[in-house]
Every structure is written in C-alpha cells, then in structure tokens.
Chain A
Amino acid sequence: MSGVENQAHKVEQLTTFYVGHELFGIEVMKVQEVTGNPHVVPVPLAPEFVRGLVNLRGQIATAVGLSELFAQKKNENKKEEMSVVCKSEGNLISLVVDSIGDVVEVDRHKFEKTPDTVPQTLRRFVKGVYKMDGVLLSVLDIETIFKELSPISEASGRN
C-alpha cells in the first residue's frame, strides 16, 4: 500500500473490473497479473465461491469466484470471465471477474466509506467507494478475501 500512497498522497491507481454490473477496483500494486479464463480444476466439498485450482506456470492458485463470494447469483456467461491474480504471504489467489476495466487514477478526496445500506455480505469485502463520473467504484479489501481463505481456526503451527 505504501508504494502507492507515497507517490502523490492524493492519487491512487486501481485496477478495475466488473462483477455483475458493479465496478470494483484493487490497488495496482497488489495485482500480479490479469489472465484470461484458465482451466480450473474443481475442488470437491469446497465452498461454492472456491471455483477450484489453477496452474499458473507451476504455481497453484486458488480461483475465487467473486460473484459467488459476494453472494450474488451464479454467473451465467462464464465464457467471458477473466482472472485477476493477487499474491499475499506466498498464497496466490485468482479472482474470477466478469470483465476487466481500465487502470484508473482516482483522487483520494473522492473516497468515501461504504454506505450502510450495502448488504453486510458484500460490505465486509469493500473498503470504501470512489465517486467517479457517472459510476461508483468499490475498492476491494483483498486482505479480507485472503483471510476468508485462511480461517483462524486452522491457524496452527507446531506445538
């Protein structure tokens, strides 16, 4: 986060994409790459939002369907889906989105907290909202998504 912040205190760069009809964004520095629709190997018994595993040049990433995660309905036109790959603490996740938008520069002044009316299921993944021209851009909290994938109950080490 620091890298982006200190660049110009006022401006933030976001990679944007659509899930359903909503526009979302992630800080550019958190995104490793954007790929097409890779072959996903399903993981039986996993929660529905885990689409499965993806082979990213020898590394295994977990594909997370954002529409399922946000408790929206299942996506129908899967063919056009894209993946946004992010990395945290050695874990790779591949966020499956409907389509990719531009990389935008946003003014921090236009940032606002997520309105309370947004459903709780979605709100916990959203840091806040940027008021863009004609559209609202929700900033994804990628850390909570990672947390979602590492339940604390399993946070075990050696005894």
Chain B
Amino acid sequence: MSSFSQEEIEEFKVEAQELMDMSEKSLLALDQGGEFKTCFDSIFRGLHNLKGGAGMMEFLELQAHTHELETIFMSFKEKTSIPKNYINFFLRGIDAARSILEGGKVEFDFTVKDEALSEAKAEEVAPVKEEVKKEETKVSLVTPEPVEALVEKASSGYSIPDEVMAEFLAEVEEIIESISQKLQKIENKNYDRELVDNLYRDVHSLKGSAYLFSFHKMGDIAHAMESSLEGVRNGTHLPNERLLDCLFKSLRVLEALAGKMKKKECDEAFAKVVPVVVKALAFAAEKLEKVEVPVTEEPALTEAMVNELADLIEEGEALKEETPKIEEAVMSIPAQTSVVKEKETEGLSSIRVPVALLDNLMTLMGEMVLVRNQVLQYSNRTEDLEFSSMSKRLNVVTSEIQEEMMKTRMQPIGNVLEKFNRVVRDLSHDLKKNINLVIQGAETELDKSLLEAVKDPLTHIVRNSCDHGIELPEVRKQCGKNDTGTIIIKSYHEGGQVVIEITDDGKGLHKDQLIKKAIEKGIINQAQAAGLTDKEAYDLIFAPGFSTAAQITNVSGRGVGMDVVRTNIEKIGGTVELSGKAGAGTSIKIKIPLTLAIVPALIVKCGKGTFAIPQVKIEELVRVDPESENKIEMLHGAPVFRLRGDILPLVDLNNVLGLQDGTESYKDKVSNIAILNAETFSFGVIVDEIQDTVDIVVKPLNRLLKSLQVYAGATILGDGSISLIFDVVGISKLAQLGQAKDKAAKVEEDKQRKLNDMQELLLISLNSPTKHALALNYVQRLEEFEEKEIEYSGDQRAIRYRGNILPLVSVNEQLGYELNRERKETVAVVVIERAGKLFGVEVNEILDTFSTSIELKEPIKKHHGIFGNINTDEELIVVIDPYEVISRAFDLEDMDPKFDVKEAAKSIALGDKSGTILLVEDTVYFRKAIKAVLEKRGYTVVLAQDGQEALEILNKENGIDLIVSDIEMPRMNGFQMAKEIRKHPAYAKIPMLAVSSKADKDYRREGMNSGFDMYLEKLKPEVLLAAISELWKEERKAA
C-alpha cells in the first residue's frame, strides 16, 4: 500500500464508496421491482470496478472480497430476477466491503450466508445451468454454418498500429455506452423518433468502424443490430422487450470483444457466440413484426423455432454480404462526430474538487467583490467613459461569478435522502414491518456542510419513524389502515430556507403516554404535567433522556435520539417542529438555512458600529416616533413596548453593549425596534438606525470573541467595512431575558383568552342615538358605493357587484328606525354571505371595529334582527343579527329543516335529557352565543376550537352525548372531523349537528356525506334547540 500517496488512497476510498453506493442503490432498486437488466449491469459495474480499483490500489483483502461477491453475482447473469435473500446477502456483502475499506477486519462467510440461501442457491443455479445448456444446443445448431473471416480478423487486428487501435477501441467503447444509454431510455418507454434515429446512427457507425478495421465479428453483430432496428426506425414497428434484451446482450458481447481486442487476444469462443447473437437479433426483429400484427402470443423458444431461425440467419448473412461496405464507412463519419461530442459533455459533467479549494475560492471571490466595489466607486468619480463602461462590465461579470460560486457548494439533498432507502428497507426487514419510503424533492439543493450536518439527525428521525411510528402490519390492519406503512420525506425551498418534512402514517403521538413517560423519567413533575398543552407535550420528546419506546430496541430507544436531533439542527441555525395526531401519524418539519456561508441579514447601526442580524431571527420591525400611539415605556427602569396588547421586553443595544451610558428617555425621539425571535420567546432590540437587508458572508470569529456569546461571527460589507453578526439568543441571555414567559405559554394564554373573552365587533351608526354593532365574523367585506350606481328593481335597491347583483337591505328599515330622508352621495354597505349568496346591508356609517370581553346580554326588548346588548362602561351597544335582517327583508326560503319549535320546547321542558354537548366552533362570538343558548336549556357544554381539538377531547373524555360543530375551522374542518369521528366505533352513532354560515346546497350535501346528521345555518337558537331535541329523539328511537 506504501506505493501510493495518502492522497491517492483517499481518492480511491471516495470512489470506492461511490461504487458501493451505486451497487447498493441498484440492488435496492431491483428489490423494489426495478428493471433487472439495468440494475444488474450497474451492480455488476460497481462490484467489478471496485474489484479492479482495489486490486490496483493493493487493497488485496477488499479485492478478494469483491471478487467473491462478483463471482456469486455473475451466476444471476442470465436470470431475470435475484431472490430477496440474495439481495440481502449482497447488501451485507457491500457493508462488509465498506468495513474492509475502512481497515476493519471482517469475517464474511460466503458459503453459509443465509439459512434460506443454500436451498435457494440450488434452486437458482439449476435453471442457470439449463439455460446454458440451451445456449449450447443453439450454438451447436449454428456452428456448421459457414461464417467467413473469423481467423483472418485476428491477424488484421495485429497489423493495425497501436495508437490507431487504441483510438478505435476508445471510440467503440463510447459508442457502446451511448447505445446502451439510448436502449435504456427506450426500455423506460422514454423515447422519440430522434432517439431511435440516433440509436440507429450509433449502431451504424459502429458497424462502419468495425468493418473499416476488418473486425468482422464486431461488424457482424453491429450489422445484425442495425437490421433488427430497421423496423423500429421506419416507424412501422414498436420495440419490444425481447428485442431490447437481445440488443443489450449483443452490446455485452461487443464489450467483451472490445476487451479481448484491447488485450490483443483473440478468443475463439466468440466465433461461436457471434452467430448466436446475430441469429437471436434477427429472430427478435422477426418477432417484432408478429407483435405488430397482434395475433400470435409469445411462444417459447422451441427447437422448431430455432430451426426456423437458421433459415432466417442464412438470409441475413446473404444480405450482409451484399452490403456495400465502403459507403457505410463514409456515411459513418458525420454520425461519429456527433456521438463523440455527446460523449464528451457527459464525460465532463462532473469533477471532484476538494472542499478546501472551494472555500479558498469563496474567500478570494469575496475579495474580488470588494475590489469591484472600489473600482465602481472610483469609476463614479471619473469622467472616463471607457473606464466607466469597463467597470460596469466588471461589475456584471463579478456578480455572475459570485452567483455561480455559490452554486458550487450546493448539493442535491437526494444524495443523503436516497441512503434512507437502504435504512428503511433493512429496518422494515428487521422489525418485520412493511414500510414504504417516498422521497419527494430530492433535487432540492443545500450547502454541502449543511447536508452533512442534517444527515445524522435525519437518520435518527427516519429510524424513529420506522421503529416507533409505523405499527406492525397486524396492528395496522386492526386500525383499518393499509398494512404497509408509508414514510414520506419531502424537501423544498421556502422563504430562503430548506424545509424537510418527515411524515409517517404510524400510530402518532399520544399526549398522555408522553406525559406519563416524562414524569417517570423525572423530566417534569405532576404539577407541570397538568398544565401542558399538546404542543408542549410533544416537545417533551426533545427533552434529554426521553425515549418513548416501551422497550429499548437496537434500532432506537436509547433516549439519545430526539434531543440530539434538535441540538444538531439548532446548531446549524435550523428549527425542528413536531406535530402529530394520535393514531394517525407523526410529522416532523425541519427548517434549515440554505447555506451557512451566506445568509441574508439586516444591517443596523448602533453607536458608531454597524451590526448584522440574521434575517431568520427577525420577526418584525417597529418604528416608534413621538406621534405613535404606543410608545416605549419604562417599567421599573426596563424599557418595554406594548405590541398588540402584549408587553414586549426591550433591550437597548446601546446600553447592553456599553456603547452609551445611562438610561435615555425614549419619549421625544424616534426609536427603531427590531423584534427578534430567540427560539422560545420574542424580544425587541432598540437600535439607532435600521439600514438594509443584504446577503452577508459569515466569517468565523476567534474563540475569545465567540465566548462573549453576543456575536455569531463577523462579515465584510460591500464597502469593505467589517460588521459583527449578532447571536440573538446570546443577546437575550446577556440582557437576562428568557425567564419571562415563553412562546408556548403565550399561545396558551391567547387561546384561553380567546375562549373566554374577546369578541370582535363592527361598529356602525344608524338613525338611532344608540351605537349598533354586528359580529365581525359575519362580515365578508366592507364597501362604499356611489348612490347613483344603485339600481332599482321595483323598490328593491341593488348594485352590480363582482359580476353579480348585490341586493341591498337597509338596517334602518328593518329595525324600524327612521329612514334617511335625503340620499347621501355614497352608501356604506356591509357585505354578508348567506346561504351561498351575497347580500349588502346598508348602514349609515361604518365606524370602527372593537373587541370586547363583555358578555352579550339578551335584548331588553325582543325585536327581530336584534341579537342582544353589550354594556360597556360608557355606553350600550346593540348587536344586530344580520342573518335575520336579511331573511326578513327577502323572505328567504328557510333552508333549515322545519321543526315544531313548540313541541321541542315542551319535550325539553319535560326534562327530556340534560346531556353533554361538545361544541366545536372556532369563532369566539358564535362559540359564546351557542354555548349560552345551550347552557340556558340545561345542557353541559364542552368547548373545542377546531376539529382537531374536538377529536382530542373525544379521546379523553367520555360522556359526550352530542356534537354541534362549525364547518370552516382551522387545522381540521368540520367535514374532516365528522369523517374521523364516524370512523371510530364508539362514536359511529353519536348525533352530530353541523351549524355553519356556509349553508348552500353543496355544503349541506358534503356535510351529510361526511356523517353529520343535520346541517343548520347559523344562528337561530330555537331551531338549534329543536334540532338537538329532534336528534335525541331519533337516537332514542334507534336505541
């Protein structure tokens, strides 16, 4: 081994890895039912080249190992498939080869392999032998035939000068390669006229060259190939499998022939093979015709057929002799050149370069950009036109080079993802599960260093999914799932980041189990567990020392998995999100920056320095001036800012960085706040000036400066000045933030508040001293129309609106207020959708929106179109029910089923049933209103904000008697929810009632199809109650 430099050995190792990867990939493809021929060839090539390389580099052990593998592998040469146990065997063989390559001592047993193997071998080898025998008989049939110029060829071969010979052989190899590629395309049914023409040309030029150099054997085969393709090329026939197979085989013979010539040997065995090939080709071509006329089915290659063939071959031979050879040789020249060109581009399509070289280039590139900037600045000052145009050109070219440079480090993520095919395959085998891996977006590109960094975390996740996620086939069947589980890895670009999603359809995460486990492991205590949201519970999986596996398997479950995943991803500036549904799978979303080297960043000024903040960390920018509504306030000496009702802690960078002493008054000056995201919470930094967003090249800092924790690196800006890059988390630590409530808590708080409090109302003015309002949820749009545009149909006012007629209804009229005496020039209209149609509700003026937590009270006096009142501190606001206003104005056909409301009331009054109702509704207003109505009648109401939550509640709580649900909801809508619920045996019969403002026919139909028992339009309390009582009646009847 000493005869090779370390560098050469390293290079060989890289190449060997690639070869093994190739073989492995093809083995897996074969296992997945890939085309045998292609896979076989590529596996063989991989093994063979590996053997060759190993021999050359004096890796004798590896050479012996691969040789053994290759030999066994070759026994499948004539087969059409490789049994699974053999595939496993070869995979293991490749693994062993890897260890050998890394210097490990491997005891690999080539004979025992697998228990099933020996029998399989016997079974497999037998047909091989048979086939060989068949081949022999065929050969014997044709040998007597007079084949000219077999011996003569050898002599002529030697007479050719070596260089010319080498050139010829190189060309032959190129053409063979090119033919093989084209055949593969045809095989994959991916071809067109042009391809077939090119193929034909290739074969033709091969023939030409071969005859030119008097290599008749080769020429004969090429000729036969050409003839067999005739029909296809003329467009009268379609290529079939047999023909392709024959062509591929011929190619292999050609390759072998070329190999022999290279070694200046003349193997007489070929003399026998050539006629067989020629014959087979002719036969295949003949068969083609028959396929075209679809009468005969494929008969086996019987003795009779072979006899028949012999005649055909004779004919072929006769034909060939007539062929004018010189002409062919001349014709072949232009075709040849085109082939060579094609080959050239393919050959040069990739080249291996050390990463260090690329890094150096990047650095130099940076310098070049700086010089460019200086030149540009200088050229702006001079009058020299020529210089100025030159510098502009320099500018363009430099930018382009920079762009291309960036690309050199990018690699498709498929390089890593495709390795998982093997991982999943092996695991599913070990775990006795059926798992299908789907990879999407393999072409998404990512910086190489990042690619390396995500490899391990991804492996962890995929292994976890296989082990914990996907259930055993029996379990899956019991759950009504397909017994084959699917893991989907999807990657794509989004907002300057690369997103990788790993989704499985396994058993998902069970919140309670997670919590139980976490308590057992002492990660949280009982008290903490009680207040956990779903998301927090899911986050437990990332806690160090947490492992969900009931058993520790050798696959995963050592409790080092997910926390390592998170740390590693966060180390490279990425994030991990986990979501899932109990019983329906888990989804993990990883977001990582495109490249570490170049990041978009916001440049800010503070004191005298410029600093860069990575764009991904920035949530928003706020500018506060003395006129702003919200100002920076001081809370016990600490600056805070009220952002949309929340108190946001602020960090004054000037103070924290010691650029300026003393606290400053923020009152009378303009302040810029950048709101930053420190993983679990947000905070704002006060900076002096916000400049631009630029792409910066991150340069590392020495450890001393890094240990300050405030800087993530430094960069050189376009003007050559240096700017420090902030480490956002570090700054928050420096300012001792983070103990404050974190994001999850805030979300929870928001949710709580939403549940209890805020309703959003639209304030309008009418001809009444009291303010009126309507729930914002009803409102589709706010419009202002010109009075003169309004048209009349009878006395019905209407306006053309988005290609439709929008009927208008005056609230003043409906509520019995005084009508406007004079028409104003413009009319304020609230557009509301009802039963799939739009209506315009005319009001005097649209005042404002406001949110309030004050309870809606029943109206003082019941009036149509009035929903109730809200008593604020200052005034009373009348809340209008716009649906009722509309139905009254237009005598709308009520689409809701008719109930005898009185009857219903009676039965309720009789103590019909005081059950528990699960109310699923995302809008606060309706949730409150419906809840109030239901509770008044003595029902217990459980609230859920969306379908997802409803399912969780159903899983957790027993005793839900009926479900009232909205349709349009975030996360999971009502239709999906209903379907899910109906799937569950315990809830197959629970009465479900849809209540939605979307209540046209289509919606109703879909609602009923998804499993709702009834579909009502929002919001008529009596109808709702009647419907509930009706449903219960039915249920009782059914019971």
**In whole angstroms, what is the CA distance A41 to B722 when docked?**
6
Cβ–Cβ < 8 Å partners of A73 in chain B: none
Q: Which of B363, B705, B723 has the most CB of A within 10 A?
A: B705
A151 pairs with B363, CB closer than 8 A: no
Residue of A42, A47, A148 touching B609 (CB-CB under 8 A): A42
Question: Taking the nearest CB of chain B, how far is it from the CB of A42, in angstroms?
Answer: 7
Quick check: is A155 within 8 A (CB to CB) of the other chain?
yes
Q: Mark A48-61, 1 if CB is under 8 A from B, else 0.
A: 00100111011110
Question: Taking the nearest CB of chain A, how far is it from the CB of B653, in angstroms?
Answer: 9
Residue of B564, B608, B702, B708 touching A91 (CB-CB under 8 A): B702
B706 pairs with A44, CB closer than 8 A: no
A151 pairs with B707, CB closer than 8 A: yes
Given A41-B609, A60-B699, does the pair A55, B704 have CB atoms closer than 8 Å?
A: no
Given A46-B708, A91-B702, A151-B703, does the pair A53, B366 have CB atoms closer than 8 Å?
A: no
B 654-705 contacts with A by CB, 8 A = 657-659, 699, 701-705
A 89-106 contacts with B by CB, 8 A = 91, 93
Cβ–Cβ < 8 Å partners of A91 in chain B: 702
Quick check: is A116 within 8 A (CB to CB) of the other chain?
no
Quick check: is A6 within 8 A (CB to CB) of the other chain?
no
Residue of B657, B699, B721, B722 touching A45 (CB-CB under 8 A): B657
Q: Mark A128-156, 1 if CB is under 8 A from B, else 0.
A: 00000000000000000000111101110
Cβ–Cβ < 8 Å partners of A149 in chain B: 702-705
**In whole angstroms, what is the CA distance A87 to B207 when docked?**
64
Cβ–Cβ < 8 Å partners of B723 in chain A: 41
Q: Which of A45, A151, A154 has the most CB of B within 10 A?
A: A45
Question: Taking the nearest CB of chain A, how far is it from the CB of B661, in angstroms?
Answer: 13
A58 pairs with B703, CB closer than 8 A: no
A46 pairs with B364, CB closer than 8 A: no
**In whole angstroms, what is the CA distance A59 to B608 when docked?**
22
Cβ–Cβ < 8 Å partners of A155 in chain B: 703
A 61-98 contacts with B by CB, 8 A = 62, 91, 93
A44 pairs with B659, CB closer than 8 A: yes
Residue of B363, B722, B734 touching A53 (CB-CB under 8 A): B722
Quick check: is B720 within 8 A (CB to CB) of the other chain?
yes
Quick check: is A29 within 8 A (CB to CB) of the other chain?
no
A153 pairs with B707, CB closer than 8 A: yes
Cβ–Cβ < 8 Å partners of A93 in chain B: 702
Cβ–Cβ < 8 Å partners of A41 in chain B: 609, 721-724
**In whole angstroms, what is the CA distance A43 to B706 when docked?**
11
Given A44-B609, A45-B658, A53-B724, does the pair A58, B370 have CB atoms closer than 8 Å?
A: yes
Quick check: is A159 within 8 A (CB to CB) of the other chain?
yes
Q: Which of B364, B608, B659, B724 has the most CB of A within 10 A?
A: B724
Cβ–Cβ < 8 Å partners of B714 in chain A: 53, 60
Residue of A45, A154, A159 touching B703 (CB-CB under 8 A): A154
Quick check: is B925 within 8 A (CB to CB) of the other chain?
no
Given A54-B722, A60-B699, does the pair A43, B658 have CB atoms closer than 8 Å?
A: no
Residue of B363, B658, B659 touching A59 (CB-CB under 8 A): B363
Give A52's nearest chain B residue, CB to CB. B722
**In whole angstroms, what is the CA distance A113 to B937 when docked?**
97
Cβ–Cβ < 8 Å partners of B657 in chain A: 44-45
22 contacts across the A-B interface (CB closer than 8 A): A41-B721, A41-B724, A44-B609, A44-B659, A45-B708, A45-B710, A50-B704, A54-B722, A55-B721, A58-B366, A58-B370, A59-B699, A60-B701, A60-B716, A62-B701, A91-B702, A149-B705, A150-B703, A150-B704, A154-B703, A154-B707, A155-B703
Q: Known pairs A43-B708, A46-B705, A55-B722. 20 more at Cβ < 8 A?
A: A39-B721, A41-B721, A44-B657, A44-B658, A44-B659, A44-B710, A45-B734, A50-B705, A53-B714, A53-B724, A54-B722, A55-B716, A57-B370, A59-B363, A60-B716, A62-B705, A91-B702, A149-B704, A150-B702, A150-B704
